[in-house]
Amino acid sequence: MTKRPRRRSKNVVTMAEVANLAGVSTMTVSNVLNNKPSVLPERRRAVLEAMDKLNYRPNVAARALASAGSIRIGLLYRDVENALLGAMLVGALKASARFGFQLIIRSYDETKPLDDVAAFAVSEIDGLLLPPPLCELVSFSGISAKLSIPMIGLAPGTNLSDIPAVRIDDEVAAYEVTHLLLEKGHRRIGFVKLPGAMVGQTRLAGVQRALAEHGEVLEERFIWEARPIYEAGLALADMVCKMEERPTAILAGSDDIAAAFVNVMHRCGLHVPEDISIVGFDDTPIAVKIWPALTTVRQPLARIAEQATERLIQMIRNPEQYTNDVIYIPHEIIQRASVSERPLQD
Amino acid sequence: MTKRPRRRSKNVVTMAEVANLAGVSTMTVSNVLNNKPSVLPERRRAVLEAMDKLNYRPNVAARALASAGSIRIGLLYRDVENALLGAMLVGALKASARFGFQLIIRSYDETKPLDDVAAFAVSEIDGLLLPPPLCELVSFSGISAKLSIPMIGLAPGTNLSDIPAVRIDDEVAAYEVTHLLLEKGHRRIGFVKLPGAMVGQTRLAGVQRALAEHGEVLEERFIWEARPIYEAGLALADMVCKMEERPTAILAGSDDIAAAFVNVMHRCGLHVPEDISIVGFDDTPIAVKIWPALTTVRQPLARIAEQATERLIQMIRNPEQYTNDVIYIPHEIIQRASVSERPLQD
DNA sequence: CTGAAAGCGCTTACAG
DNA sequence: CTGAAAGCGCTTACAG
């Protein structure tokens, strides 16, 4: 009669139940969960199995309360409209839920990104996820050393000197796509660099490597620059449309730029891909909402974010063994209708 | 020597200190904090004063843990590519972080959405956020009563009979947009219903109400149906293009459908908006990535998700006073170039 | 390497 | 109306 029933909302699986099933103490479960190296491999396996079987999810509130800290991962985003934000959040959320961390998000002001990063870093969080182009901005500004929390870059266009990152290999992606174009017979290729972002340089190197293998070069006059937004693409495409001699294929820096090219080329009286082939980058939704649909490079952003979050959690837990490495995630070349089988004969 | 020092991260003010200063028990502080009516006015004042003096902030983690562990909110999504997912996650994340709840996400299989909802609901979560079209599917299937957790619909196209919801008023939005068209002189208006989704019916009512006020009617032959995706829009637009007599303005059911219309109308030799005006719905990114940019209706999804999450948390905490109400969030008519100043003179 | 015990800051259920 | 006690699910610090 001394027991007091307590409302228990649900069949929530607790650490005790996992411990029970695995035949260990809750301490050991906790150690496994926190990746403490001291646990014997066989026990660890048993615990992980039990967690899996029971579909165990750590209770963030309890963890936060008990550990008095280190449970918050921050993610800064610029804009809710961003087509890639959903995928990044999904990945980050999965990894943080798995480890019982809480994901805290905040938008930043494009006119003072670094200030916002600094303010966010000092006040409320234990680790920071940096999407592009923030990761590059932070890295180039050199403020990362002053920010005293671990951070990691998501899909930067190049390796960062002072911040670890998870990314696709842009150089290889550009190389492969260029190779595809060469195989289809294209020789005169146009390339759109992205300003500021290092991706421009990295991809450019890949394009040049592929061309060099075929004894070709990328002509200076076919290297342009545009911000990766539709409007900038429109302006550039307009200019290209008026050129006397054009490339037979164009590697746009983003799907938005590519979509703008497709649009302008039509208005210009050119057929895509018969007269000119267009390649995008990112495989965002617009890639299949225009005609012809874009051949493009897909970055698996959800996976990138998930891996980056896992890595960040490791860094938060073991600050000493924090190395500045890069994790590569495989990209995918998506072939659709915007690249012709053969180039225009000139 | 029996005391064990415990790391205490900061100079956090606890409830005990407030209770101490106010000369009451922690229980009373808690009661004041939770607005329990039973506390005597003078004590309440003393407690509030102490809280203020010490700058007391309740610890959300402790509160979540103590209040019986109801801390998980689930969100089901179909696809990482969804342009609206980012906004929904941002809103849901903000509200859940504020109350110390955890957001758990999971993707569902389009071929068996109801099974996935049921499985998710029974196993791991305390409340469920239902984005469209899931909220409508769940409501129409009638399974909500069997699912024993609170849930709420995000931006359904109509009020749901058995599930509370946060949404814009589609009828009014459709009314306002139609009104806009009427003001610009349009009389022959085409309308695209979305199949399955109730939005079709609800918006149709708004369109008809506006037309009726001008003594006009929506002609049967100008009411079509299409799924809210680009491809379906293409097929429908093709059909419309071949009609002998066309409306001067079309209310597409989504931006994707509208974008498809714009595309096909061009190929059809018609100018948008001079020959035909097109109105989208949702204000997704594609709205400004085509030419002309779409006049459309914006649903503030981040705000909708945030409000819905707050409401859901209330429902989880007070299951008894759970009413099936609807919270309306203001929408916004975004005027861009796809609607002409005046209709074609026929 | 492992686990029994204490404690994180709050709320619930109860007795007064 | 009020408060002493138990408990939420986890981690820390310690002893074995």
Boundaries of every domain in chain A? 15-57, 71-168+300-330, 170-298
Same fold: B15-58 with B72-168+301-330: no
Q: Which residues of A touch B89 (CB under 8 A)?
A: 85-86, 89-90, 93
A100 contact to strand D (CB, 7 A limit): yes
Spell out the SS3 assignment of chain A: CCCCCCCCCCCCCCHHHHHHHHCCCHHHHHHHHCCCCCCCHHHHHHHHHHHHHHCCCCCHHHHHHHHCCCCEEEEEECCCCCCCHHHHHHHHHHHHHHCCCEEEEEECCCCCHHHHHHHHHHHCCCEEEECCCHHHHHHHHCHHHCCCCCEEEECCCCCCCCCCEEECCHHHHHHHHHHHHHHCCCCCEEEEECCCCCHHHHHHHHHHHHHHHCCCCCCHHHEEECCCCHHHHHHHHHHHHCCCCCCCEEECCCHHHHHHHHHHHHHCCCCCCCCCEEECCECCHHHHCCCCCCEEEECCHHHHHHHHHHHHHHHHHCHHHCCCCEEECCCEEECCCCCCCCCCCC
Pairing of strands B165-167, B189-193: unpaired
Q: What is the pLDDT of residue B96?
A: 83
| A61 CA, C6 C1': Å apart | 19
Q: Which distant-in-sequence residues (6+ apart) come within 8 Å of B185 by Cβ?
A: B341, B342, B343
Q: Which residues of B touch A77 (CB under 8 A)?
A: 86, 90
| Residue-wise pLDDT tens digits, B105-130 | 999 999 999 999 998 887 778 889 99
| Residue-wise pLDDT tens digits, B255-289 | 999 999 998 998 888 999 999 999 999 888 789 88
Q: What distance in Å separates residue A212's CA from the closest CA in chain B?
A: 35
Least confident of A123-132, A162-171, B290-299, B329-338: A123-132
**CA–CA gap between residue B41 and residue B22 (Å, rounded):** 13
Percent helix, strand and coil across chain B, each rounded to 5? 45, 15, 40
| Residue-wise pLDDT tens digits, A267-281 | 888 999 999 999 999
pLDDT at A168 over 60: yes
Partner residue facing A83 (CB), from B60, B285, B290: B285
Q: Which nucleotides on strand C sit less than 7 A from a protein beta carbon? A: 1-14
Least confident of A269-283, B188-202, B208-222: B188-202
CB contact at 8 A, B255 and B228: no
CB contact at 8 A, B194 and B226: yes
**Type of residue found at B119:** A
Q: Which residues of A touch B105 (CB under 8 A)?
A: 90, 93-94, 97
Q: Which fold has domain B15-58?
A: 434 Repressor (Amino-terminal Domain) (1.10.260)
Question: Nearest nucleotide, C1' to the C-alpha of B65?
Answer: D8
CB contact at 8 A, A293 and A339: no
User: Cβ of B82 and A86 within 8 Å?
Assistant: yes
Peptide bond into B343 cis (omega under 30): no
Partner residue facing A80 (CB), from B90, B100, B291: B90
Q: Which residues of A touch B69 (CB under 8 A)?
A: 8-10, 12, 59, 61
Question: Nearest nucleotide, C1' to the C-alpha of A5?
Answer: C13
Q: Which residue is nearest to nucleotide C13 (CA to C1')?
A: A4
Q: Which fold has domain A71-168+300-330?
A: Rossmann fold (3.40.50)
| Residue-wise pLDDT tens digits, A40-87 | 888 888 888 888 888 888 877 787 778 765 568 899 999 888 878 999
Q: What is the CATH number of domain B72-168+301-330?
A: 3.40.50.2300
Which CATH architecture fits A15-57? Answer: Orthogonal Bundle (1.10)
Give the pair of three-digit tokens for residue A142: 């050199």
Identify which of A341, A332, A264 has the alpha carbon closest to the alpha carbon of residue A296.
A332
When pLDDT is cut at 50, 70 and 90, the band that residue B9 belongs to is: very low
B15 contact to strand C (CB, 7 A limit): yes
Partner residue facing A9 (CB), from B7, B62, B68: B68
| Residue-wise pLDDT tens digits, B164-180 | 999 999 999 999 999 99
CATH number for B170-298 (one of 3.40.50.2300, 3.40.630.30, 3.40.50.980, 3.40.50.360): it is: 3.40.50.2300
Q: What is the pLDDT of residue A52?
A: 86
